[in-house]
Structure 1
């Protein structure tokens, strides 16, 4: 297993990224010991459960959630000067 030390990795980061993207194993070592493996990022493409009530019991909205206090309305309307 070929390894690249940290100093070499700093100088050759672009080429190491290209190697990892091409499927090569890239190991970065420190003092001769393997520390990290450089791998391509894989976006999570799993489907999301967007069904109704998925957050039921997990989130609580205050009873006055939709009520805007008068002082905030004044501040946002620009009449606070």
Structure 2
């Protein structure tokens, strides 16, 4: 494993799967969690270690591939009376009063 040091970082940065991985002591991670989360969100892999032993890893979250809100825009039609009061028969059906 090759080790690369970021300038003035104080971290050990081995190459991990072709990308930079930063190892951070647990105490330092507690003090810099917000920055570490931002770094992970930007694509860095951050390993948190206690007494030199890796315990946890912060990794970027993959972008969602599913449909986005608004995907039905222009396809789904909402009638003008959408929020009008329901008829008595419909209300009875919802309440289980069918007879």
TM-score (norm. length: structure 2): 0.41
Q: Which has the higher contact order (CA 8 A, sep 6+)?
A: 1
Q: Given the two structures, how large is their TM-score scaled by the length of structure 1? A: 0.49
Larger relative strand fraction: 2
More helix by percentage? 1
